[in-house]
A and B are shown apart, each in its own frame.
Chain A
């Protein structure tokens, strides 16, 4: 190791003479030569600023002859108006106070009318008695540096502009999204009643769970008066989601309302809807359909009982919660999806609600909710019947609130819209229910 490193020193010695020659050439460069042609400007002034000495480099930058400068002009005469002002207000006072100032950015005028950005440093030379004698000043050409700084500034401005544009685009996208959601919310509300019609001697409550705020739901319900004695209600589920489903929902809702005014018999109203949907969609090869329950309520003021006549087209059976704490489905087997065949079989049923009884309508988002640890089981009609039995005797509002809690408990097992509608006859004497 030692030997090898010793040998490595040898080439240096061999090149030594060439290096020495180069050094000698530099050292021959006299101090005077260095002063005159240094890569910066030098000048010395009297304390009043009169230029006493100036180097060739600076004269070259200024485009001036030595004779025109020395003894005839002051340093400040070389500066632009702005530079002169800055010199008088900052540079000179600082120099008087500290005896030196370094790296101040100023601009000097050229004879041709141009200007050069420079960095100026000055130092006061004192005599042996401590009196200030003269000022020595160096002037560095800052053109390249200024150009670099301007380039940096331009880049930064460009970056800021790009950031501003990106921010603007993001704001615009957010605004568009908000507008779209507002529009969707308005459309969604147009598919559902603002308020349920007040049915004399009855209470009604409804709830709509939207699976996704971005997508229009396909579930619908309504309660409205038909004539002096009867009210009608319906609840259903259009196949699919989004704008296409919403268009079907809208057509369905207004068709049923209009059909009810013509003939409120439940089977007749749903048959009209079937014909309308079939002619509009399925006949043209684009099957769109819904499941629906349509019914009428006919309160009997003398008994406080309400006769319910209903028809179902492919919809899960409705539940009746009785005042005595029982609950049952009202079977409507054989009713077909509304809108797929020119003439659909529809199932009719009748029930009577006594005080304390509540009729519950729901869409299959409720019974098809996935439950269990691995979300593979369905909530199902049996569980719903058990839940209904537990709440039998409760008011429509209380039943809906309990079901809302049930839906919340499904968490991500609930991925469909759910519409709920409860219609009940208030208990006449509000008996206290015994908890089971």
Chain B
């Protein structure tokens, strides 16, 4: 078990959340609460950088979907960056790879 750790930084495009550890039943509520507290302006891009994420279960997927809903409610967009291979495989099976914008990384040049 790797405890979830989330760091937040601001990019020119909007907030970037870097997720480390396990996004599972224990950790997912933390991401959901953090995202729910984010103020997004219309046209901004919320980036979830999953490069440091080690595990993601269905609770984690639900948190990602909730983040997408939150962004869209603010007329902002959302993207997942540096998605680990196994999570990418699952996103493919459940069709979420077409619903999320996927970025290779969350660097300053990153954009939709």
The majority secondary structure among interface residues of chain A is loop
Within 8 A of B (CB), among A77-102: none
* Interface 9-mer from B4-12, B15-23, B38-46, B94-102: B94-102
* B-contact 0/1 string along A355-366, CB 8 Å cutoff: 000000000100
Within 8 Å of chain B (Cβ to Cβ): is A49? no
Q: Does B96 contact A337, Cβ atoms closer than 8 Å?
A: yes
With CB as the reference atom, state the residue of chain A lying closest to B73.
Answer: A285
Q: Does B95 contact A345, Cβ atoms closer than 8 Å?
A: yes
Q: Does B58 contact A336, Cβ atoms closer than 8 Å?
A: no
Question: How many Å from the CB of A375 to the closest CB on chain B?
Answer: 13
Q: Does B69 contact A345, Cβ atoms closer than 8 Å?
A: no
Within 8 Å of chain B (Cβ to Cβ): is A287? yes
With CB as the reference atom, state the residue of chain A lying closest to B97.
Answer: A334
Within 8 Å of chain B (Cβ to Cβ): is A41? no
Given contacts A314-B93, A316-B93, contact A334 B98 (CB under 8 A): yes
Within 8 Å of chain A (Cβ to Cβ): is B66? yes
* B-contact 0/1 string along A328-357, CB 8 Å cutoff: 000001111100110011010000000000
Within 8 Å of chain B (Cβ to Cβ): is A282? yes
Question: How many Å from the CB of A302 to the closest CB on chain B?
Answer: 37
Given contacts A336-B99, A341-B99, contact A291 B94 (CB under 8 A): yes
Given contacts A314-B93, A364-B93, contact A340 B59 (CB under 8 A): no
Within 8 Å of chain B (Cβ to Cβ): is A313? yes
Q: Does A314 contact B94, Cβ atoms closer than 8 Å?
A: yes
Question: How many Å from the CB of A382 to the closest CB on chain B?
Answer: 12
Complex Cα–Cα for A337 and B93 (A): 9
Q: Does A335 contact B95, Cβ atoms closer than 8 Å?
A: yes
Within 8 Å of chain A (Cβ to Cβ): is B62? yes
Complex Cα–Cα for A344 and B65 (A): 14
Given contacts A240-B58, A240-B59, A334-B98, contact A340 B65 (CB under 8 A): yes
Q: Does B94 contact A337, Cβ atoms closer than 8 Å?
A: yes
Within 8 A of A (CB), among B41-74: 58-59, 61-62, 65-66, 69
Q: Does B98 contact A345, Cβ atoms closer than 8 Å?
A: yes
Within 8 Å of chain B (Cβ to Cβ): is A268? no
Given contacts A239-B58, A334-B98, contact A287 B93 (CB under 8 A): no
Which residues of B sit under 8 angstroms from A345, Cβ to Cβ?
95, 98
Q: Does B95 contact A313, Cβ atoms closer than 8 Å?
A: yes
Q: Of B66, B86, B95, which contacts A287 at CB under 8 A?
A: B66
Which residues of A sit under 8 angstroms from B95, Cβ to Cβ?
313-314, 334-337, 344-345, 347
Question: How many Å from the CB of A293 to the closest CB on chain B?
Answer: 12
Q: Does B62 contact A239, Cβ atoms closer than 8 Å?
A: yes
Q: How many A-B residue pairs have CB under 8 A?
A: 50
With CB as the reference atom, state the residue of chain B lying closest to A288.
Answer: B62
Q: Which of A287, A335, A378 has the most CB of B within 10 A?
A: A287
Which residues of A sit under 8 angstroms from B66, Cβ to Cβ?
285, 287
Complex Cα–Cα for A347 and B93 (A): 11
Question: How many Å from the CB of A97 to the closest CB on chain B?
Answer: 80
* B-contact 0/1 string along A238-265, CB 8 Å cutoff: 0110000000000000000000000000
With CB as the reference atom, state the residue of chain B lying closest to A336.
Answer: B95
Complex Cα–Cα for A315 and B93 (A): 6
With CB as the reference atom, state the residue of chain A lying closest to B36.
Answer: A285
* B-contact 0/1 string along A270-286, CB 8 Å cutoff: 00000000000010010
Which residues of B sit under 8 angstroms from A282, Cβ to Cβ?
65, 69
Question: How many Å from the CB of B31 to the closest CB on chain A?
Answer: 13
Which residues of B sit under 8 angstroms from A314, Cβ to Cβ?
93-96
Q: Which of B61, B69, B92, B93 has the most CB of A within 10 A?
A: B93
Question: How many Å from the CB of B94 to the closest CB on chain A?
Answer: 4
Complex Cα–Cα for A341 and B99 (A): 9
Complex Cα–Cα for A335 and B99 (A): 11
Which residues of B sit under 8 angstroms from A340, Cβ to Cβ?
65, 99
User: A residues bordering B, Cβ < 8 Å?
Assistant: 239-240, 282, 285, 287, 289, 291, 313-316, 333-337, 340-341, 344-345, 347, 364, 378
**Could you jot down 20 A-B contacts, CB within 8 Å?**
A239-B62, A240-B58, A282-B65, A285-B66, A285-B69, A287-B65, A287-B66, A289-B62, A289-B65, A291-B93, A314-B94, A315-B93, A315-B94, A334-B95, A336-B94, A336-B95, A337-B61, A337-B65, A337-B95, A345-B98
Give me 9 other A-B pairs in contact (C-beta within 8 A), A289-B65, A333-B92, A336-B94 excluded: A239-B59, A282-B65, A282-B69, A289-B62, A315-B93, A334-B95, A335-B95, A345-B98, A347-B95
